[in-house]
């Protein structure tokens, strides 16, 4: 990862549960440093984090964390302690 490059990037990501889209066509990048996600309940914050960590597979789009494609390298991202999160139990 080059200096100043995003630590995570999503392009046209879509995640759904049944017929309900939790994320629909989300594209964004997270810069180095502290980043917060704000939004009302049901906005997709936890779903986005789970997708970034490889815990959920997006139906559409691509995700990269630390220049690693999450779809192929999710185990490596977590196993090498590059990323982590504490998520509320549902």
Could you tell me the domains of the chain? 8-30+39-79 (3.40.50.300)
What pTM was computed for the model?
0.78
Distance CA 57, CA 72 (A): 11
Angle among Cα 2, 23, 52 to the nearest 5 degrees reads: 35
Per-residue pLDDT reduced to its tens digit, 56-71 = 889 999 999 888 888 7
Per-residue pLDDT reduced to its tens digit, 5-39 = 898 999 999 999 999 999 999 999 999 887 888 89
Helix (H, G, I), strand (E, B) or coil at 36: coil
């Amino acid at each position: 990862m080059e200096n100043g490059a995003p630590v995570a990037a999503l392009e046209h990501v879509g995640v759904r549960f049944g017929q309900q889209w939790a994320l629909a066509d989300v594209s964004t990048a997270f810069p180095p440093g502290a980043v917060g996600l704000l939004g009302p309940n049901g906005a997709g914050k936890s779903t986005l984090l789970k997708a970034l960590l490889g815990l959920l597979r997006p139906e559409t789009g691509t995700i990269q964390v630390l220049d690693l494609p999450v779809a192929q390298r999710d185990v490596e991202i977590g196993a090498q302690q590059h990323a982590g999160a504490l998520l509320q139990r549902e």
